[in-house]
Amino acid sequence: MDAKLNMEARGAGALIAIFLILAVNQVVIKVTNDGLQPVFGAALRSLGAVMVIGLWMRFRGVRLDFTPGTIGAGVLAGLIFAAEFICLFVALDLTTVTRVSVIFYSMPVWMALTAHFVLPGERLTPVKSVGLALAFAGVTWAIVDRSGLGGEASLAGDLAALAAALGWMGVSLSARVTRLRELGPEMQMWWQVAVSAPVMLIAALFFGPFVRDFQPAHIAGLAFQIVFVATGAFMAWFWLLKRYKASSVASFAFLSPIFGVAMGWAWLGETVTPSLIGALVLVAVGIVLINRR
């Protein structure tokens, strides 16, 4: 396994941009869910991303790479990716952007814990262990506390967001511990969207009517998800995972719950309770400590 670099300014700048886009994406998914059934919308996003990534690869002269030994890893990553986004889109249909942001972006907690056992050189130190405990407490607090929420949230939505976070961790780890790591970012992302699109289309059959109240604004939301998120941000994410330590890359996710909570409040007028802010602070501080060397 190739040695990974510690974080540098260029990588940090790219990660800040990625997590800002992903925070905006939470709001976009929430709005697009008004027009499309969530799982069907997720499937359309993957289907569109297959085409956009294919065009990008053609433009760059990058060929589809089916090297023996990588196919199984690609299919596995695609299946985990499908599960992740079924859970995330359903979560955003059931609960608020602010709550999903705190819970879903706890992914670095699960990444750091798992990396301790499976990735060389990324063991938990005492400081990182304290960070993990704080972040875990914040996620637990966010899920357990239901005060002052009225009809804005559901326990099922919160648990779906947690499952999505674990799925994101699984996809990220698959890019490190399987032969998927031998492929470029374009091919890694191609496998995920190419496998997840048909899987989610089939799954959508079990989640009700495909179309709700579809409007032109929802087309713009899908286009944003396809071009800027499922293609641009995700390919950049896998490029960063190939270059830098996995825990260092994931640690910048502390920005996304902050961005996400702010946008859910400002854009959608969602309630931000003192309890939710407390949970957010614990998660953010915990993730910062997890990134300490």
Q: Tens of pLDDT along 208-236?
A: 999 999 899 899 999 999 999 888 887 88
Provide the 10 A C-beta neighbour count for residue 62: 16
Least confident range of 23-27, 173-177, 247-251: 247-251
Q: Reply yes or no on whether the pLDDT at 180 is more than 50.
A: yes
Helix 274-290 vs helix 107-118: crossing angle, to nearest 10: 30
Residue 211, beta-bridge partner list = 36
Which carries the bigger pLDDT value, residue 13 or residue 205?
205
pLDDT in tens, 185-205: 889 999 999 999 999 999 999
Q: Reply yes or no on whether the pLDDT at 34 is more than 50.
A: yes
What is the reported pLDDT for 192?
95
Q: Name the band, by pLDDT with cuts 50, 70 and 90, for residue 5.
A: low
Residue 244, beta-bridge partner list = 5
Q: Reply yes or no on whether the pLDDT at 142 is more than 60.
A: yes
Q: Name the band, by pLDDT with cuts 50, 70 and 90, for residue 253.
A: low
Percent of residues, the chain, with pLDDT higher than 70: 92
Percent of residues, the chain, with pLDDT higher than 90: 49
Q: What is the dihedral of CA 237, 240, 242, 246, to 10 degrees?
A: -90
Q: Name the band, by pLDDT with cuts 50, 70 and 90, for residue 1.
A: very low
Alpha-carbon distance 98 to 160, whole Å? 14
pLDDT in tens, 101-137: 999 988 888 988 898 888 877 788 899 899 999 999 9
Q: Reply yes or no on whether the pLDDT at 157 is more than 50.
A: yes
Alpha-carbon distance 104 to 80, whole Å? 15
What is the reported pLDDT for 150?
45
Place of tokens 């970012």: 185
Tell me the pTM: 0.89
